[in-house]
Amino acid sequence: MLEQKPAEAAAEIQVLARVQGVLKRPVTVKAARGLSHFGEHAIGWFAAGLIGAAVDRKRRKDWLLAAAGVVGAHGASIAVKRVVRRPRPEDPSVEVLVGTPSRLSFPSSHATSTTAAAVLYSGLTGRNLVPALVPPMLASRLVLGVHYPTDVLAGAALGGVVGGLLRRKIRKKG
């Protein structure tokens, strides 16, 4: 179990409460919930990879490998969650605005799969998708009150590593 010192935990709760105070508006909560549902179990990112495979027949195998990589990154985050066993934020100053499939928080699986998808699909589209996809998903997890800031940062790092390694493999193969 990830043990935080009281001062560290209080600082993260303070950041989380502040993010909610600044960003929690009906339109942002609605968008954050949409991102949450899209990213649940990496299903939206996996579907995007399947669409890429259907549209870009020339690189169908690369798209399928990338889509599998997104699912693999998600699986890696679940494995880390089960080892670390950090509970989700629970504090009166933080409002939880969406349901979650587990009570485990570290790392954010949404951040992991989104970052892996952004890195992998950037390589296949020739466009840098990271700035457009990753920050909104990370912010959404905080707006919804289901992750500490370090959860989303660690998830993004894990997704970046998995996506980057697989992207190199795809590039070498192609």
Amino acid of residue 172: K
pLDDT for 8 equals: 73
**96 CB-side CA count, 13 A:** 13
> pLDDT at position 173, please?
62
pLDDT at 3: 60
Query: What is the model's pLDDT at position 5?
Result: 62
Going from the C-alpha of 104 to that of each of 4, 25, 82, 133, 156, the distances in angstroms are 15, 26, 8, 23, 16
Cβ-contact 162, 76 below 8 angstroms: yes
What per-residue confidence (pLDDT) applies to 6? 67
Q: What is the pLDDT of residue 2?
A: 58
Query: Per-domain residue ranges for the chain?
Result: 6-173
Give, for all 174 residues of the chain, the pLDDT tens digit.
556 666 777 899 999 999 999 999 999 999 999 999 999 999 999 999 999 999 999 999 999 999 999 999 999 999 999 999 999 999 999 999 999 989 999 999 999 999 999 999 999 999 999 999 999 999 999 999 999 999 999 999 999 999 999 998 887 765
Q: Give every CB contact of residue 101 below 8 A, 6+ residues apart in sequence.
A: 40, 41
Domain 6-173, second-level architecture: Orthogonal Bundle (1.10)
Burial 113-125 (b: 16+ CB within 10 A, else e): bbbbbbbbbbbbe
22 Cβ neighbours under 8 A, 6+ residues apart: none
**From the centroid of its chain, how far is CA 48?**
15
Predicted pLDDT at 10: 85
Q: How far is CA 48 from CA 70, 80, 131, 173, in A?
A: 10, 25, 17, 21
Q: Who contacts 161 (Cβ-Cβ below 8 Å, separation ≥6)?
A: none
Contact 133, 28 (CB under 8 A): no
Q: Is the pTM of this model over 0.85?
A: yes
